[in-house]
Amino acid sequence: MKRIVLFLCFFACLYTAHADRVKVRLFSNSKIETLYVSFDLGMYDLFADGSILLEAGLGEGMSVEMKATASGVHVSVNGLAYGTYGSVVLRATDTACILCLNPRNVKQRTYEGDLIVSIFDKTSLKIINDVEFETYLAGVVQSEIYGTQSDIFRIQAVISRTWALRNMNKHKSDGYNFCDYVHCQSYQNRCVRPDIILGTMQSSGETIVDKEGHLIETPFHSNSGGQTCNSEDVWRSALPYLRSVQDTFSYRMRQSDWTKVIDKNKWLNYFARTHHLDINDANVRNTLLTFSQPQRVAKILGVPLTRVRTDFKLKSTFFSVSVDPANPSNVILSGHGYGHGVGLSQEGTIRMVSLGISYDSIIRHYYTGAQIHRDENVSQVYVNNFVSEIEKIIEEDRAHPGQRRSKKDDWLGKLFRVRDRMDREEEYEPNRQELEPEIKIE
């Protein structure tokens, strides 16, 4: 819904203590040779190699084609060629602008903010979204977790914000902050759901810190299978807040359990050839065919389970092995959970929220000894007001399912006026008579 981008823009100004804007590489896991851009909302300027080509000339009904060539990015607007350049920028003229990106052979996406396009490896495009930090964060939350309750999204926003602020320079040498894939955090579209925006707003200014007040690493995964991992069982470092914990909340969820059937000889030969185990030894052979994990372990006969998971493309390292009684030439891997298993289980979180467990207790459950830090620079008065307004929107949407809203709706005018007062550093008074004229957005 186009109305949501405008609301996010108001929210973005509330959290500026650590990050204002970020650069995120889009389609980072794909080779993009041609990109088609259209415009869902607002107007854009077109720059090439630092000089303006079109000033406020790109909006609804217009389209831009950018194609990778040996000499640079070839640009066409509505079919008219504008030349080839080293770098092309689509810059939003105000906060309420939405781009629709259509790479050839890749699913369409929409984003807010600016777009920076250059050549990557001389054969494809490097596409970067320059966007408000909190707008990016809401897109991450939408991409990373499912659910309907705002506390689910609040928790994901807190851990995603913490991760982003701690890893702000992860791709500094590449010219951007983050990629849009799981190497960083998934960012597959702008946020369009009011309930996700509500949870993100409720988390405004919140991060997770250790007892010294430092931002922690906040890994998360789909489902722990009933027990999370110690960090050193998956990666090198043993971190005090990433300890294995029992997690019965992850039982009976979408990704709780899995099975995989593997040819027995392939299974045994893998350990013989790759890890040099003597599979003719009766004890070794028996262990490989009857391996069991009542509690998580890190290795099988000295072989890291993380390596086994990667080589056999398993959902997790939390599995047991048995010979298939119906077909003794196969082994069955009976597994639990999905993901690396360190830190927060997303499906465990969803279950805990549904049981009424508070969001901060959930965070402390998965990050041992960690605390939630609230940034004093974030005005709680305005956060509470925006939360109240978005809750009204959600309730009205529930009362009128399928109703389409105009950008001229009264709630939007109210939010503009609240923003104006904040810019003037005035106190928000909910009962104050609204004397400012209604702002109309065509």
pLDDT tens figures, 346-372: 999 999 999 999 999 999 999 999 999
DSSP-derived pairing of the beta strands 109-112 and 98-103 = antiparallel
CA torsion angle for 348, 352, 358, 363 (degrees, to 10)? Answer: -10
Other CB atoms within a 10 A radius of the CB of residue 103 amount to 22
Q: Which residue has the tokens 């620079």?
A: 377
Residues 261 and 243 grouped into a single domain: no
Q: Where are the beta strands (DSSP E) in 197-292?
A: 206-209, 220-221, 257-263
Between CA 99 and CA 45 the distance in angstroms is 12
Instruction: Give yes or no for residue 18 having a pLDDT over 70.
Output: no
In a domain, 76, yes or no: yes
Q: How far apart are CA 61 and CA 39, in angstroms?
A: 7
How far apart, in whole angstroms, are the C-alpha atoms of residue 159 and residue 203?
10
Boundary of a domain, candidates 286, 306, 336: 336
Residue 296 above 60 pLDDT? yes
d(CA 175, CA 208): 27
How do beta strands 21-26 and 178-179 pair?
Answer: parallel
pLDDT digits (tens, 9 = 90+) for 177-205: 999 998 899 999 998 888 888 899 899 99
User: Do 132 and 267 sit in the same domain of this protein?
Assistant: no
Instruction: Give the total number of structural domains in the chain.
Output: 3
For residue 378, which amino acid is it? V
Q: Report the chain's terminal Cα–Cα distance, integer Å.
A: 15
* Percentage of residues in the chain having pLDDT higher than 90: 71
Domain annotation covers residue 420: no
Verify that 108 and 26 share a domain, yes or no. yes
| Residue 417, in any domain of the structure | no
The predicted structure's pLDDT at residue 405: 55
Closest CA to 247 of 158, 359, 372, 362: 362
Give the confidence band of 433 by pLDDT, cuts at 50, 70, 90.
very low
Overall residue count recorded for the chain in this entry? 442
Q: Cα separation of 392 and 204, whole Å?
A: 19
CA distance 228 to 344: 8
Within this chain, do residues 130 and 79 fall inside the same structural domain, yes or no?
A: yes
Q: Are 375 and 207 in contact (CB under 8 A)?
A: yes
Q: Where are the beta strands (DSSP E) in 265-317?
A: 299-300, 303-304
96 and 11 part of one domain:
yes
Q: Are residues 88 and 187 in the same domain?
A: yes
Looking at the whole model, is its pTM more than 0.85? no
Structural domain of 351:
205-250+341-374
